């Protein structure tokens, strides 16, 4: 409530007024004292408002209620798609003591609406409206749609009065990120330090706009990333894509295992700042293997004296083609320390078709008895690890024989 102190300076008064013309009203002055008088309504044409002329207080802005608007979205009006129809109803009620006419009703932004056809509404009467909005992407991103009813009508003396109402309905937000991964250099690899190039692409899906796309590629070496689509800067709009390329260098473990796999995840932030994570995408690359063979396929050292080495036997691993071959290592399984093996070809070098890899195997028993074991040869071939059976027997030691003699 405002009062005029003789000029154009309006001062706030603690009490608000609700009055009609000719009514005896009481008010509190700026000085804290109370006064009373007969209200006289004055319409301010320049500012389209109704004022009270009160003795000793000049003009006061009135709170006379003339028009009341109400708006409500229909039950189950939540939405999840752009363009989805969101229906509403509205009502404009005459709460004054006059007949009102010249109604002007609008629902800004509504796709369509219609209202009762009326010329005049008596006190207590109302006019009903109905219509619908078409949900926009911005509504989905905000998580809600707010409808507005703006109404106005004219009193018998031609003055117009207005009222506004709003209602809000929620969006069903469904943020999503989709991911794809592919090996660009083919599904196979053949050699150590070979470069495997991988491309991972994530796409903004769901029904809301996202921000700050990212890809979790574990410890792969990143080459480059690029974003495409309508989004600018950190925006990741529906249909936008974020693509990264990575490189992996083949290690001995990859060749020996015969394959390797990588699992990727994509992500982004939804309009509320929450992280959205994609389902995993996994790629697998297979080693393209050559063929190999071993000679001899078994070794029998016969009988040797305890503590004396038998003759060293050479085992040859041959590359039978058509690709490269690597011998990763050799181990003796079982037999205690009676058998030993030395690999003469480096695990970092390839075995050519015409140059077999030599492995030296020795039998040196430390006690009497029969011994057996197997030589395990790990290779990159289709045949996998080669297993060569080993056996030998130990009699009495040379020192024992001399003692008996």
CA proximity to 198, closest of 266, 264, 256: 264
For the segment 146-170, the average pLDDT, to the nearest whole number, is 88
Please indicate whether residue 51 or residue 362 has the higher confidence score (pLDDT): 362
Is residue 36 pLDDT above 80, yes or no?
no
Q: Which of 60-69, 277-286, 293-302 has the lowest mean pLDDT?
A: 60-69
pLDDT score of 1 more than 50: no
Q: Is the pLDDT of residue 47 over 70?
A: no
> Does the structure show a pLDDT above 90 at 82?
yes
- Quick check: 159 pLDDT over 80? no
Percent of the chain residues past pLDDT 90, beyond the cut: 57
Highest mean pLDDT: which range of 93-97, 131-135, 379-383: 131-135
Q: Using an 8 Å Cβ cutoff, are 250 and 153 in contact?
A: no
Whether 204 and 177 have beta carbons less than 8 Å apart is answered as yes
Say yes or no to pLDDT of 51 above 80: no
Confidence at residue 55, expressed as pLDDT on a 0 to 100 scale: 57
Which DSSP state fits 14? S
- Higher model confidence: residue 345 or residue 134? 134
Are the C-beta atoms of residues 140 and 174 closer than 8 Å to each other?
A: no
pLDDT exceeds 80 at position 27: no
Closest by alpha carbon to 287, among 318, 256, 262? 256
SS3 344: coil
Question: What average pLDDT does this structure show over 286-305?
Answer: 93
Tokens 């015969």 correspond to what residue?
Answer: 258
Q: What pLDDT is attached to residue 17?
A: 40
Report how far Cα 179 is from the mean position of its chain's Cα atoms: 10
Strands 221-228 and 175-183: unpaired
SS3 content of the chain, % helix, strand, coil (to 5): 5, 55, 40
If pLDDT is split at 50, 70 and 90, which confidence band does 256 have?
confident
DSSP state of 79: B
Report the C-alpha gap between 211 and 234 in whole angstroms: 5
Q: Which residues contact 130 (CB under 8 A, 6 or more apart)?
A: 87, 88, 89, 90, 113, 114
For residue 158 the two structure tokens come to 């031609």
- Interval 104-123 mean pLDDT: 93
Task: List pLDDT tens digits, range 206-252.
Answer: 999 999 999 999 889 999 999 999 999 999 999 999 999 999 999 88
Q: What is the pTM of this model?
A: 0.70
DSSP β-bridge partners for residue 268: 276
User: Stretch 4-19: mean pLDDT, rounded?
Assistant: 37
Q: pLDDT at position 193, please? A: 86
Q: CA 146 to CA 359: how far, in whole Å? A: 81
Query: What integer pLDDT is reported at residue 54 of this predicted model?
Result: 59
Task: Measure the N-to-C terminal CA separation of the chain; round to a whole number of Å.
Answer: 133
Q: Which of 213, 189, 178, 185 is nearest to 199 (CA)?
A: 185
Nearest one of 155, 165, 4, 139 to 71, comparing CA atoms: 165
Cα→Cα distances 297→89, 208, 294, 300, Å? 90, 66, 6, 10
Average model confidence (pLDDT) across the chain? 84
Domains and CATH numbers, the chain: 2-61 (no CATH), 67-170 (2.60.40.10), 176-287 (2.60.40.1530), 291-400 (2.60.40.10)
Supply 228's token pair.
């495409």
Largest CA distance in the chain: 149
294 or 64: which carries more pLDDT confidence?
294
Burial of 34 (0-12, 13-18, 19+ CB in 10 A): exposed
pLDDT at 156: 83
Positive or negative CA dihedral for 219, 220, 221, 222? negative
DSSP 86-150: EEEEEEEEE-SSS-EEEEEEE-TT-SEEEE---SEE-TT-EEEEEEEEEP-HHHHHHTEEEEEEE
Q: Is the pLDDT of residue 16 over 80?
A: no
Query: For residue 182, is pLDDT > 50?
Result: yes
What's the pLDDT at 18?
Answer: 44
Chain CA centroid to CA 291, Å: 45
Sheet containing strand 241-249, strands side by side? 175-183, 195-206, 241-249, 221-228
Burial 291-327 (b: 16+ CB within 10 A, else e): ebebeeeebebeebbbeeebeebebebbbeeebbbbb
pLDDT for 187 beyond 60: yes
């Amino acid at each position: 409530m405002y009062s005029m102190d003789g000029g154009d300076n309006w001062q706030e008064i603690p009490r608000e007024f609700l009055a009609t013309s000719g009514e005896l009203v009481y008010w509190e002055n700026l000085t804290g004292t109370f006064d009373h008088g007969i209200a006289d309504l004055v319409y301010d044409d320049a500012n389209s408002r109704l004022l009270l002329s009160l003795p000793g207080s000049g003009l006061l802005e009135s709170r006379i209620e003339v028009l009341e608007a109400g708006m409500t979205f229909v039950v189950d009006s939540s939405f999840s798609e752009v363009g989805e129809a969101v229906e509403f109803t509205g009502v404009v009620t005459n709460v004054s003591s006059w007949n009102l006419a010249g109604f002007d009703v609008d629902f800004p932004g509504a796709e369509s609406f219609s209202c009762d056809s009326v010329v005049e509404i008596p006190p207590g009467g109302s006019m009903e409206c109905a219509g619908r909005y078409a949900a926009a992407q911005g509504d989905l991103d905000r998580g809600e749609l707010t409808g507005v009813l703006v109404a106005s009508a004219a009193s018998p003396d031609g003055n117009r009065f207005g009222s506004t109402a709003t209602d809000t309905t929620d969006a069903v937000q469904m943020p999503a990120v989709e991911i794809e991964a592919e090996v660009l250099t083919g599904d196979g690899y053949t050699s150590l330090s070979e470069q495997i190039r991988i491309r991972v692409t994530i796409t903004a899906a769901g029904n809301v706009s996202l921000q700050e796309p990212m890809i979790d590629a574990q410890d792969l070496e990143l080459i480059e990333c690029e974003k495409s689509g309508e989004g600018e800067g950190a925006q990741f709009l529906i249909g936008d894509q974020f693509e990264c390329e990575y490189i992996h260098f083949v290690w001995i473990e990859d060749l020996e295992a015969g394959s390797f796999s990588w699992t990727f995840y994509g992500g982004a932030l939804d309009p509320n700042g929450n992280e959205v994570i994609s389902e995993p995408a996994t790629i697998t690359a297979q080693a393209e293997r050559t063929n190999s063979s071993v000679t001899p396929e078994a070794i029998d050292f016969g009988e040797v004296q305890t503590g004396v080495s038998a003759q060293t036997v050479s085992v040859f691993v041959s590359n039978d083609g058509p690709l490269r071959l690597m011998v990763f290592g050799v181990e003796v399984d079982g037999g205690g320390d009676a058998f030993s093996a030395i690999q003469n070809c480096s695990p970092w070098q390839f075995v050519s078709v015409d140059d077999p890899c030599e492995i030296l195997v020795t039998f040196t028993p430390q006690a009497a008895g029969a011994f057996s074991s197997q030589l395990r040869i790990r290779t990159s071939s289709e045949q996998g690890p080669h297993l060569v059976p080993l056996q030998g027997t130990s009699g009495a030691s040379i020192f024992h024989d001399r003692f008996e003699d």
